[in-house]
């Protein structure tokens, strides 16, 4: 198989994993957070326990591993693609006068910060919230806030990140 075909497959994998990751991130922020609030407020309703027990562990499993696959396939693409380099991207193309390299590098940095947030802030704190690891009520309340803000931060960062991932090949908007 020619290397260009492998490169295309890697890029395809990057897109698929990225859609899975960011799609679940938007699900958490646009659907799950307000749904949990509504379930807590609905005193006569079934409550949020089922979401926490059956939905969240599965969603978080796909979420955190899709993030890893997205990052690894993206890094492999940057290293193998003829017009990019991993080092050049992560040094933001300083001195290269190559706007494509700087743009994809900015996207790569935002994606890397988001991966850090997933594995260092969101997942360890969600384990406390969901009862996967033992925690007091105070620890759970703090963990819920940290995980929430990290998730919202990733949603915010995804907006410029997606712009730059596309703009590297198709141009900046202004």
| Minimum distance, C-beta of residue 104 to other proteins, in the bound complex (Å) | 10
| Minimum distance, C-beta of residue 4 to other proteins, in the bound complex (Å) | 26
| Minimum distance, C-beta of residue 76 to other proteins, in the bound complex (Å) | 23
Could you tell me if 57 and 102 are in contact, meaning their C-beta atoms sit under 8 angstroms apart?
Answer: no
The whole-angstrom separation of Cα 55 and Cα 52 is 6
The residue among 132 and 163 lying less far from other proteins, judged by its C-beta, is: 163
Would you tell me which residues interact with other proteins (CB under 8 A)?
29-30, 92-94, 97-99, 101-103, 106, 145, 149, 152-153, 155-160, 163-164, 172-174
The residue among 127 and 152 lying less far from other proteins, judged by its C-beta, is: 152
The residue among 10 and 164 lying less far from other proteins, judged by its C-beta, is: 164
Q: CB pairs under 8 A, 24+ apart, for 121-127? A: 121/146, 121/147, 121/150, 122/64, 122/147, 122/150, 122/151, 122/154, 123/60, 123/64, 125/150, 126/56, 126/60
| Minimum distance, C-beta of residue 173 to other proteins, in the bound complex (Å) | 7
The residue among 69 and 92 lying less far from other proteins, judged by its C-beta, is: 92
Estimate to the nearest angstrom the gap between the alpha carbon of 95 and the chain centroid: 29
Angle between helical axes of 3-27 and 137-170 (0-180°, round to 10):
140
| Minimum distance, C-beta of residue 95 to other proteins, in the bound complex (Å) | 9
The residue among 50 and 169 lying less far from other proteins, judged by its C-beta, is: 169
Could you tell me if 28 and 59 are in contact, meaning their C-beta atoms sit under 8 angstroms apart?
Answer: yes
Contacts of 127 (CB under 8 A, 6+ apart): 133
């Amino acid at each position: 198989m020619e290397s260009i075909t492998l490169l295309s497959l890697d890029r395809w994998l990057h897109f698929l994993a990225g859609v899975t990751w960011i799609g679940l991130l938007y699900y958490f922020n646009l659907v799950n957070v307000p749904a949990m609030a509504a379930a807590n407020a609905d005193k006569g309703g079934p409550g949020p326990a089922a979401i926490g027990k059956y939905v969240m562990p599965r969603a978080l499993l796909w979420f955190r591993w899709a993030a890893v696959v997205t990052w690894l396939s993206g890094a492999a693409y940057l290293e193998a693609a003829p017009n990019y380099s991993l080092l050049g991207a992560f040094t933001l193309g300083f001195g290269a006068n190559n706007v494509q390299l700087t743009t994809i590098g900015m996207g790569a940095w935002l994606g890397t910060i988001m991966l850090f947030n997933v594995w260092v802030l969101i997942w360890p704190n969600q384990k406390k919230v969901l009862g996967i690891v033992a925690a007091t009520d105070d620890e759970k309340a703090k963990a819920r806030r940290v995980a929430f803000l990290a998730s919202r931060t990733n949603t915010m960062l995804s907006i410029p990140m997606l712009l730059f991932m596309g703009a590297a090949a198709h141009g900046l908007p202004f």
